[in-house]
Amino acid sequence: MKISRDYIQTLHDRLDIEDIVSSYVSLKRTGRNLQGLCPFHNEKTPSFTVFPETKSFYCFGCQASGDIISFTMRMENLDYVEAVKSLASKAGIPLPDEGFDDSMSKLRMRILSANRDAAKYYNSQLFAPQNSEALDYFRRRGLTKQTLTHFGLGYAPPGWTGLIDHLKSLGYTERELILADLAKRGKNNSVYDSFRNRVIFPIIDLRGNVVAFGARVTDDSKPKYINTADTPVYKKGNGVFGLNFAKNSPEKKLLLVEGYMDVIALHQAGITNAVACQGTAFTSEQANLLSRYAEELYICYDNDGAGKKATARALSVLGKTGLHIKVVQMEGGKDADEIIRTYGKERFLSLLNKSGNEIEYKLNSLLSDFNVSTDDGKAKYLTAAAEVLAACSPIDKEVYAGRLSKEFGISKEAILTQIRSSEIKARRVYSAERRKAINKAADSVFEGRNNPERKTNLKAAVAEETLIALLMRNPDFYRKLKDEFTPDDFVTQFNKRIITVLIELIEGNYSTDLSMFAQEFTPEEMDSIGNIARKGITLANTLTECRDCIKTLKSLKSGEKVDVRSMSDEEYLKAFEKMKKNRN
């Protein structure tokens, strides 16, 4: 069973997409529409557009498209029913007690419940007398009992089924534990605990749910860390450790560190706006999440080669969020945890105060690549510095060109000339890359994952998409056309699904806005439907266009090659009559 279309129609009518999206994206009005930076990919120039009239959104950069429901599903990592529940709460309307399939929602709730009970089990094991070595590990790291409790830290004993046995006694099934990645299935079909003989760091989302775990050895064995794999409630590339606490900091400022212990040590020292990205490569999803809770971000990665590479990666991602970025040089220690334990809070705060912005960090980092004591090295350094400054604002170019001029004895005008040359080159490269990226994204939306038949049936697919767009925009046309075609005239199966749902909506007197499709299609498929719907803007929107599409589809269908040798007499007669009818 599904949520009724009447209910979705009511929800659609009650909510404004502007109100929903603006809680995640800063929007500016441009005529009748609104624009902002896309929350689904990194960009500096706004290409994400909200259309209040149709209650839909579309990104001209990555081709993400959809309605209020699919937007909520993506932003909050919810399934369809959970997204509807969330929106229903905002709209102030009760959700029907029956009539919808909430099996996925129930599974997610069971996994969250299992995670919560697993966290309690791990925490109790940390304080069990037989596991004193684990507790000693945290004490050696300087953590108090209050901190251990605040972060819910724990310990997974060395046995193979300790957690499984405990959770089974609470009524959880092996399937639920495997889906939660709390357990794994072995080669002989046995099931064993995912985490064993490791201290445990629960990962908590912004709603206070335990969604995953990080686990660390207490000695030098490898691997040092293992983490929960992706599950129905967790995606590693989206999570940020400690944000559930840091988001409550009164400052609109976050500190980005590398590890769990860095976050915990800083919070214990009273610096409660520290977060970490759980050992995964920093992603655009994490960057966009951080930008919702801060205006300024300090990168405090480890003072080693890997940390510097991670800093460069983070800068490339964060630079497109609009956040003001500073980079902290971790002097006196490998990481934040070591500096806090060795020198204390004040030393770390002094490093924050001495931190430079992104430009200063990049210019300083370049110095290690060139021998600026020689003329050749100086010239190469200034050329590389000009490439850095080419991406900066006019004021920054003036300020840093002046600073470089004084430092190296080169005229400011010469440096500005080199910056302008680098800027022209960068603009050409960016334009070419952007065109390539947009074309690639559009191709993947229309072809690849959503409609793989489109490429080999391009003429039919274009006719199908045009007819769909026309009927979505002009549902009254269907009454005059319904005897002239059926979904069976469609060649590609994806578009056939769309037209089938569209006809059901029209015949049921429902809206044909995108919200009415979200229950039948995934958010990724909604990208394609949103792209198709946009075609209606460029069309004349006439019955003649519709009939031209139908004629094209009929013609293509009648020209299909049929292997009559494999047909029964009845099948051959039907195929013959169909071809004769189409030709007439």
338: domain CATH number is: 3.40.1360.10
CA end-to-end span of the chain: 42
DSSP state of 455: G
Pair (558, 463) in one structural domain? yes
- The answer to whether residues 355 and 373 belong to one domain is no
108 compared with 240, residue with greater pLDDT: 240
pLDDT at 584 over 50: no
In a domain, 264, yes or no: yes
State mean pLDDT over 186-213: 92
The CATH number of whichever domain residue 557 belongs to comes to: 1.10.860.10
Sheet containing strand 210-216, strands side by side: 154-156, 198-204, 210-216, 225-227
Task: Identify the top-confidence range among 104-118, 273-287, 480-494, 518-532.
Answer: 480-494
Provide the pairing of β-strand 48-51 with 56-59: antiparallel
- Measured CA to CA, the distance from residue 134 to residue 130 in angstroms comes to 9
Q: What SS3 state is found at 224?
A: coil
pLDDT at 581: 53
Q: Is 317 inside a domain boundary?
A: yes
Residue 402 lies in a domain: yes
| Residue at 472 is within a domain | yes
CATH of the domain at 17: 3.90.580.10
Residue 175 and residue 210 in one domain: yes
**Do 15 and 109 share a domain, yes or no?**
no
287 and 378 inside one domain:
no
Boundaries of domain holding 136 = 104-227
Cβ(226)–Cβ(249) below 8 Å: no
3-state secondary structure of 346: helix
- What's phi and psi for 95, nearest 5 deg? -85, 140
Higher pLDDT, 272 or 285: 272
Same structural domain for residues 63 and 145? no
Q: Which residue has the tokens 């639920």?
A: 176
User: Cβ-count burial of 223 within 10 angstroms (0-12 exposed, 13-18 middle, 19+ buried)?
Assistant: exposed
Q: Strand order of the sheet with strand 56-59?
A: 28-30, 33-36, 48-51, 56-59, 65-67
Residue 59 pLDDT > 70? yes
Q: Is residue 167 within 8 Å of residue 117, measured between CB atoms?
A: yes
Q: Which tens digit of pLDDT belongs to each residue from 542-570?
A: 999 999 999 999 988 776 544 444 445 55
Residue 440 lies in a domain: no
Q: Is 483 helix (H, G, I), strand (E, B) or coil?
A: coil
Q: Do residues 253 and 178 both lie within one domain?
A: no
Burial of 38 by CB count in 10 Å (0-12 exposed, 13-18 middle, 19+ buried)? buried
Same-domain status, 358 and 373: no
What per-residue confidence (pLDDT) applies to 411? Answer: 93
Q: Classify 359 as helix, strand or coil.
A: helix
**Residues 236-262: tens digit of each pLDDT:** 888 899 999 998 888 889 999 989 999
DSSP letter (8 states) at residue 487: G
Domain count, the chain: 5
- Same domain assignment for residues 60 and 120: no
Instruction: Say yes or no: 392 and 463 in one domain.
Output: no
The full length of the chain comes to 584
Q: What per-residue confidence (pLDDT) applies to 564?
A: 42
pLDDT (0 to 100) of residue 166: 97
- Per-residue pLDDT, averaged over 385-391, amounts to 90
pLDDT given at position 578: 53
Residues 6+ positions from 54 with CB-CB distance below 8 Å: 513, 514, 533
CATH of the domain at 206: 3.90.980.10
In a domain, 375, yes or no: yes
Specify if 446 maps to a domain: no
Mean pLDDT of 471-482: 91
pLDDT of residue 155: 97
Q: Could you tell me what percentage of the chain is helix, strand and coil, using 3-state DSSP and rounding each to the nearest 5?
A: 55, 10, 35
Q: What is the pLDDT of residue 583?
A: 46
**3 state SS of 225:** strand
The reply to whether 332 falls in a domain is yes
Q: Please list, in sequence order, all residues whose beta carbon lies within 8 angstroms of the beta carbon of residue 207, skipping any fewer than 6 positions away.
A: none
